[in-house]
Amino acid sequence: MEGLLQRMGMLRGWSPQTLSAYRSDLKHAASFLHSNRGHSIFDASQDDIASYLATLRKAGLKESSIYRRRSSLSTWYGYLQQEGWREDHPVHNLPNMHRGRKLPKELSEKEVELLLATPEVGQATGLRDRCMLELMYATGLRVSELTGLTLSNIDLQAGIVRIVGKGDKERMVPFGEEAGNWLKKWLQKRASTANTHLFPGRSGKAMSRQNFWQRIKLYANRAGISPLPSPHTLRHAFATHLLNHGADLRAVQMLLGHAHITTTEIYTHVSRARLHELVNSAHPLGHK
């Protein structure tokens, strides 16, 4: 399985994180099929896959997680069919599932201001963290994109950050004057460092996603923000606040690096929710 999975990931331009997620899903399914159905993940039937998905439901797994594992299996069998390993596709004729869409935790603009102002910028670590938070909110980068930035990704004069995102797709994302000012301060502070990573951790390597998450939790606690935001909260805030101020959905899609507009549309639900809140609180018949 591993060799085929590696080849599939290479052909589709998967990131290491995406490949790892598929590997985890397929190994879990393969273990069930072998132990409970006496089949491998190569020759499983439609009934075998249906039994696997039903077991996940009985175990209380969230619908969104079941959907993801089913999607991984569908991609796997589609590839096997394409390469001539099997003639049928055991997932295609299963009943459709509707993917649960959880709206992201929303930070207000005031909460974002509080979060950004929390790091102690008189210290190198605090200055680095302030710059990271400012840049993430200014550009909507994914956490992995932010922590993986190198000096060559930044064009201060043009106010542009160059990103190679999912599927090795490149995009240019502009950032504003405020983020640019903090970038200048951080670059001056780290000027003597030979490291090419824009935001190195203690080891000198790129900061890990887990470390960045710990930094966000630290500052959110200090700022009194509850519930604690996720690592992607500033990316969500970037998209939501742009739409709240009239940005075009297609433009936001390009900035976020979403392959499909349907992924971006989740943020329109957040914006509409705020409009409903406004009507309910301000309109004379809003509480009727």
34 is catalytic: no
**Helix, strand and coil percent figures for the chain, each rounded to 5:** 60, 5, 35
Catalytic pick from 69, 190, 215, 235?
A: 235
Sheet containing 170-174, strands listed edge to edge, beginning at the edge strand earlier in sequence = 154-155, 160-164, 170-174
The residue written with tokens 């405020």 in the block is 178
Q: What CA–CA distance (Å, rounded) separates 257 from 245?
A: 20
58 is catalytic: no
Catalytic pick from 52, 137, 219, 267?
A: 267
Quickly count: other Cβ atoms within 10 Å of residue 223's Cβ: 17
Q: What CA–CA distance (Å, rounded) separates 148 from 183?
A: 15
**At what angle are helices 209-223 and 124-139 packed, to 10 degrees?**
100
101 is catalytic: no
Catalytic pick from 28, 68, 105, 258?
A: 258
Task: Compute the Cα dihedral for 8, 12, 13, 14 and give only its sign.
Answer: negative
258 is catalytic: yes
Pick from 173, 151, 177, 155: which is nearest to 163 by CA? 173
Catalytic pick from 166, 185, 209, 274?
A: 166
Catalytic pick from 130, 215, 232, 236?
A: 232
Catalytic pick from 69, 70, 128, 142?
A: 142
Q: CA 164 → CA 4, 51, 245, 251, distances in Å?
A: 25, 39, 27, 18
142 is catalytic: yes
- Helix ranges restricted to H, 175-265: 177-189, 209-223, 233-244, 249-256, 261-264
**At what angle are helices 46-58 and 63-82 packed, to 10 degrees?**
160
Residues with a catalytic annotation lie at 142, 166, 232, 235, 258, 267
